[in-house]
Amino acid sequence: VIRTVLGDIPSDELGVTDAHEHLLIRGGLPVERDRDFLLDSVDRAVEEVGRFLAAGGRALVDAMPGGLGRDPDGLVEVARRTGAHIVAVTGFHKLLYYDTEHWVYRYQEDAIADLLVAEIEEGMDRHGYRGPLVDRSPAQAGAIKLATDYYRMGPVEEKLFRAAAQAQRRTGAPILTHTEHGTLAREQATYLIDCGVPPDRIVIGHLDKNPDLDLHLEVLQTGVYVQYDQPGRAKYGPDSRVVELLASVVEAGFGDRVLLGLDLARRSYWRAFGGGPGMDYLLTRFVPRLRRAGFSEDAIRALVVGNPARVLALRRTP
Ligand SMILES: [Zn+2]
């Protein structure tokens, strides 16, 4: 099954998926530093998700972990009003987003693993474990987020990775990562695999920020999934580059190991806030472009339906 904010669904009901999206970011350090990260409107999220659904979409992963503006009840409302399947995450973003007093620096691995498991099995804390009281939403997290900063994976990140690996083994939930400009992608994969996480439970994110095919193939050879999530964000590079990367990895036999998303974590990326490209871009612009580039319908379906359905399914390894 896949764990959405409205409950578990069979994985073959997931449908066309944007595997890295942002629907609500109500506060937290990223927003304090840059107001463009503030996504605080259920109505506008409903509008963006509505366009994605109208273009043939069905499911989205909201990739913001607790404590950084995640809003479990808001996600439930967006899911109810639109009919979209929404998968929320527990876990962590990069350490830059946690103030120096935060428990991520103090709690031990086992205690942190317990907190993550509880968000997946009991429900997400409405206050993102910023304490002191825990108040769980009925909505459960369906995946575990992890992050490293630019070439930075120190003892605290390693502790969080070990805690997440433990939570993965206990729940069967997949791990989705943030890499900073694609750095440490291979290191993230091998560290988690060494911690006992099966490679097919791991998605290494933002790899197209470093569009280096050799590196991507090296990461894919460890057995993990990779995620391309910058189509439409022209400031980071043209879509043509992502199309070429995709063609090469499919050609190399890894068409069953790639996920697509847009990662529209800024107001300026939303049409509902007067910006762009907007959440429908993946299906109205990028997928048609893959078709024109000669991708088969089967190859496209794997990228947006089959691969996310497989990796997002909760599966405990014996
Ligand atoms: Zn993101």
- The rounded Å distance from CA 57 to ligand 1 centre is 19
Residues 94, 148: contact at Cβ < 8 Å? yes
Q: Report the alpha-carbon angle 212-37-29, nearest 5.
A: 100
pLDDT tens per residue, range 221-271? 999 999 999 999 999 999 999 999 999 999 999 999 999 999 999 999 999
Amino acid at 313: A
β-bridge mates for residue 202, sequence order: 175
Mean pLDDT of 63-92: 98
SS3 content of the chain, % helix, strand, coil (to 5): 45, 15, 40
Nearest CA among 111, 178, 195, 108 for reference residue 143: 178
Ligand 1: centre distance to CA 265 (Å): 6
Q: What pLDDT digit, counting tens, does each position of 117-157 carry?
A: 999 999 999 999 999 999 999 999 999 999 999 999 999 99
Q: What is the pLDDT of residues 176-230, one digit of tens each?
A: 999 999 999 999 999 999 999 999 999 999 999 999 999 999 999 999 999 999 9
- Tell me how far the alpha carbon of residue 226 lies from the centroid of ligand 1, in angstroms: 14
Percent share of the chain, pLDDT over 90: 99
CA of 134 to the centre of ligand 1 (A): 25
**pLDDT confidence of residue 316:** 81
pLDDT at 317 over 80: no
The whole-angstrom separation of Cα 89 and Cα 204 is: 15
pLDDT of residue 171: 98
Mean pLDDT computed over every residue of the chain: 97
pLDDT recorded at residue 318: 67
Confidence grade of residue 310 (pLDDT, cut at 50, 70, 90): very high
How close is the Cα of 137 to the center of ligand 1, in Å? Answer: 22
- CA 192–ligand 1 middle distance (angstroms): 20
Distance 93 CA to ligand 1 centre (A): 9
Contacts of 201 (CB under 8 A, 6+ apart): 168, 172, 173, 174, 175, 311, 315, 317
